[in-house]
Amino acid sequence: MKEKIIEKSNELFLNLGFKSVTMDEIANSLGVSKKTIYKYFKNKTDLIDGVTNHIFDTICCGIDEICEQKGNPIDDLFNIKQFVMTHLKDEKSSPQYQLQKYYPKIYSSLKQKQFKVMQGCVLENLKYGIEIGVYRKGIDIEFISRIYFNGLTGIKDKEMFPLKNYSMKTLMNYYYEYHLRGICTPLGLEKLEHQLKINQL
């Protein structure tokens, strides 16, 4: 039952937002009473913590699988982007922004975990990209991995980048182009141009 509660809550939170979905709505969607939910989660905050950790673990497993295939590092970044956006429902409800605003403790904990996982993945991506000649030699990979993470979290600030002006897909494409043009070799730029054409469709 706990898994069903997490799955249904995950669906509702990502489609409608963490703030707007009530425990009553979750219970009704599952066809159970609120008491049933409270057997497993002491309150809504506890449920949101469980759901966000579930999303985090699911996304981490998917990213690991993509990275393990050792494809072209530029293709890998775009594949990871597509995988994450699919699991976050294209971020239509601005989940990260809502967490930051209404559940700051959960957001802070999640951000620290995201950084540890993403930095390792990005460092490997950068090293391999240099090795096969799609990224420039001599770039500071530690700095770039940190600025990359900071930029990815920054574009999810809905006050800075309102959804009415930018869809998340558009923002991600802009950010990936911005990131990669700064570090790619001519060979890498060819691969980037190909990915940008695919992602405009």
Give the residue with greater pLDDT, 105 vs 98. Answer: 105
Alpha-carbon distance of 8 to 22, in angstroms, equals 12
Question: Whole-prediction pTM value?
Answer: 0.84
**Residue 20: its pLDDT value, please?**
87
Contact by Cβ (8 Å): 188, 135: yes
**Residue 166: its pLDDT value, please?**
85
Domain encompassing residue 23: 2-200
> What CATH number is given to the structural domain containing 150?
1.10.357.10
pLDDT band at 93 (very low <50, low <70, confident <90, very high): low
**Residue 69: its pLDDT value, please?**
85
Alpha-carbon distance of 122 to 141, in angstroms, equals 9
pLDDT tens by residue, 137-190: 999 999 999 999 999 988 888 888 888 888 888 888 899 999 999 999 999 999
Instruction: Write the CA distances from 77 to 9, 26, 147, 164, 171, integer angstroms.
Output: 28, 34, 15, 26, 15
Contact by Cβ (8 Å): 125, 135: no
pLDDT tens by residue, 11-47: 999 888 898 899 999 999 999 999 999 999 999 999 9
Query: Dihedral angle at the C-alpha atoms of 143, 147, 148, 154, nearest 10 degrees?
Result: 170
Contacts of residues 112-117 at CB distance under 8 Å and 24 or more positions apart, as own/partner, are 113/56, 114/56, 114/149, 114/153, 115/149, 117/60, 117/63
pLDDT averaged over every residue in the chain? 90
Least reliable range by pLDDT among 29-33, 87-91, 120-124: 87-91
The total of structural domains in the chain comes to 1
